[in-house]
Structure 1
């Protein structure tokens, strides 16, 4: 059990969340990025504010929040500290499975801010094709299962309390089974510290399982039904919250760019950069792209809550659109701010690096485009995997 919070968290309020952003996450963001250390202090503050249990069932003491609320939280966090936002995003994605199939004690620990989880889907052998795990599950001693795998990227590796872990099925047909694996399990090894271009504090490192033993009851859902669970529970949350993450980063980039354009002057013209038509037009294009992606995210959330026929397609589209928007806005902000953007103190270069992550996180933009094409043409998403 982690030490995120010693006492039950207070009910989530906007005031408590704003205080966490203002007093903890924001002030530590530059240090987290510079040192690449896990944002444990920020995560503990979020736990104490009730944010780890936001999506948890009220029956277990959770906040009973919905995806729109979670998207708002992730968006605000991403604008302040991308690493902290990604840790919470992956926790929320894992919690959707735990809340449905996990043991009651873990569900309650999540609700009380005492348990951080994450997904362990991507593997060295299948790379971003999360739907085709190479890791295996085999019968162990009576009542136990042996797990072996080489996971390539696991956010909060070595920091989370548990992993929602994918493998090939134990005995059943199908392509995937899911397990709840305690992070302290014998045979789990985090292979090196994460030293990345962006999201430098999110602890995304490879994790190897060699003969990890879990009880048979660690199975989350039915054997061989993991892909269905991923499509129904995990993917909507991950893709929607990834879009919210992108909008948080782009929103801050636009704010920083606007501040720079208003505050920087061409003394020989006695004008600010904001008074230059080219700069204004460039800023307007970036704002239009961001506002369009925000409207699309809002429509996606509405489609999900109203069970619209196009909801599945919207979910597949929203991360692809938001990820490419974030990359375009980040590049545009660097251009508009010029050489000043390369200095850390402006804050643009950190968000530039964080903004590029979403397009290469599985499912990547290219894979999502293929999914969207399949969905639009009436083809199964995973025909080859089946």
Structure 2
């Protein structure tokens, strides 16, 4: 088990680096090389790799804490870290099923490899549970070509986790997950990344070509991985990033109010009541996030083969609630700071925070998630409310 104090110190050291470069990463829409180097230096990329594979074997809550700390420094850096850990969690979920995969996870820990996801595909409309492409098999190799609509930090990752149909005869939902190292892949850029926020994630579109061994296919079907690992892990780690961003904006708003209070002793600054609302929302976000993380851990410890429908609905609701609440918190901070928050280059600037958080309801679109949640709630046999 990790020492939480030591882990948070390492995360904060990486966050100091992230904060120093955050504005440049944002304005230039560039990959935060300095942050990732710092995360590697502090041995934070292999955090979830199990102990028996020579990793620290940290729980998801530890990765969530690092996401939150990084989120207070640089939203793009934090989101990259979250997306990487989601991929690691997906591999850990199938651990022991493949000698090649076990050895690869050892390398993730020892070499601090950065993993990226290739689930998007032109023509599937944002539905990652559907694939058009399928591998061709010849002798002891497989080849695959995939037109991806976005691969976050794809050019900078050490390995790509690529979804595809199991074979050319399989249905679009019968998917596999292939671990492709950079030496196995070729990327051809098809569109740039020039966005409102999260600009440092460098999420360009690529045509992907890969050649790998069948052993690099993760043994579990991607459908199982997506529902029982990728979905809850994504919503918990994304939520931790958003909580971190919103927390930093609120700290800036509090610093602004403290300056006003020093200028006019004895009078309550006009925006102070908004600070109470923002902090109350942050507290609620943190409590809901901690509850979901703890419940996910307890379910996993119980060795259930499938997550309960009620929990899947809960983590879907978590994503929607946190993505909307984080935006509202930063809006309150903006109203507190006024022009000082709206302008770039002041100690109270929170334009980057607001722009970054506008991505939150779009990853995956909240309307799509709400529709999926409604389906789960209708199918659920257990009472909607426990106790």
TM-score by length of 2: 0.86
Deviates more, 1:311-320 or 1:169-178: 169-178
Verify: 1:98 aligned to 2:99, yes or no.
no
Preserved contact between residue 55 and residue 63 of structure 1 (Cα < 8 Å) = yes
Residue in structure 2 matched with residue 233 of structure 1 by the alignment: 229
RMSD: 2.4
Could you tell me how far apart the structure 1 residues matched to 2:268 and 2:241 are?
A: 27
Deviates more, 1:158-167 or 1:201-210: 201-210
The alpha carbon displacement at 1:186 in A equals: 4.6
The verdict on how the C-alpha distance between 1:95 and 1:137 changes in structure 2, with shifts beyond 3 A counting, is same
Verify: 1:37 aligned to 2:39, yes or no.
no
Residue in structure 2 matched with residue 155 of structure 1 by the alignment: 152
Residue in structure 1 matched with residue 384 of structure 2 by the alignment: none
Residue in structure 1 matched with residue 297 of structure 2 by the alignment: 305
Preserved contact between residue 154 and residue 207 of structure 1 (Cα < 8 Å) = yes
Preserved contact between residue 323 and residue 358 of structure 1 (Cα < 8 Å) = yes
Q: Which runs of 4+ in 1 moved over 6 A?
A: none
Q: Which runs of 5+ in 2 are unaligned?
A: 300-306, 382-387
Residue in structure 2 matched with residue 352 of structure 1 by the alignment: 354
Q: Which of residues 236, 242, 252 in structure 1 aligns to 2:238?
A: 242
The alpha carbon displacement at 1:338 in A equals: 1.6
The alpha carbon displacement at 1:182 in A equals: 2.0
Residue in structure 1 matched with residue 372 of structure 2 by the alignment: 371
Residue in structure 1 matched with residue 287 of structure 2 by the alignment: 295
Q: How does 1:80-91 map to 2 (within 5 A)?
A: 80-91=73-84
Could you tell me how far apart the structure 2 residues matched to 1:230 and 1:321 are?
A: 21
**Aligned residue pairs: how many?**
360
Verify: 1:281 aligned to 2:273, yes or no.
yes
Residue in structure 2 matched with residue 59 of structure 1 by the alignment: 52
Preserved contact between residue 106 and residue 115 of structure 1 (Cα < 8 Å) = no
Residue in structure 2 matched with residue 190 of structure 1 by the alignment: 189
The alpha carbon displacement at 1:314 in A equals: 2.1
Preserved contact between residue 48 and residue 113 of structure 1 (Cα < 8 Å) = no
Preserved contact between residue 176 and residue 217 of structure 2 (Cα < 8 Å) = yes
Verify: 1:76 aligned to 2:77, yes or no.
no
Preserved contact between residue 84 and residue 115 of structure 2 (Cα < 8 Å) = yes
Deviates more, 1:254-263 or 1:136-145: 136-145
Could you tell me how far apart the structure 1 residues matched to 2:88 and 2:268 are?
A: 45
The alpha carbon displacement at 1:103 in A equals: 2.2
The alpha carbon displacement at 1:58 in A equals: 1.1
Q: Which runs of 5+ in 1 are unaligned?
A: 1-10, 381-386
Residue in structure 2 matched with residue 16 of structure 1 by the alignment: 10
The alpha carbon displacement at 1:321 in A equals: 0.8
Residue in structure 1 matched with residue 255 of structure 2 by the alignment: 259
Q: Which of residues 102, 122, 133 in structure 2 aligns to 1:124?
A: 122
TM-score by length of 1: 0.86
The alignment partner of 2:146 has SS state of: strand
The alpha carbon displacement at 1:283 in A equals: 2.4
The verdict on how the C-alpha distance between 1:360 and 1:20 changes in structure 2, with shifts beyond 3 A counting, is same
- What's the CA shift string for 1:3-50, capped at 9, x where partnerless? xxxxxxxx963333322223x222122221222221112111111211
The alpha carbon displacement at 1:264 in A equals: 3.4
Deviates more, 1:235-244 or 1:343-352: 343-352
Could you tell me how far apart the structure 2 residues matched to 1:274 and 1:322 are?
A: 30
The alpha carbon displacement at 1:106 in A equals: 2.0
Could you tell me how far apart the structure 1 residues matched to 2:195 and 2:28 are?
A: 11
Residue in structure 2 matched with residue 145 of structure 1 by the alignment: 142
Residue in structure 2 matched with residue 330 of structure 1 by the alignment: 330
The verdict on how the C-alpha distance between 1:297 and 1:186 changes in structure 2, with shifts beyond 3 A counting, is closer
The verdict on how the C-alpha distance between 1:139 and 1:318 changes in structure 2, with shifts beyond 3 A counting, is same
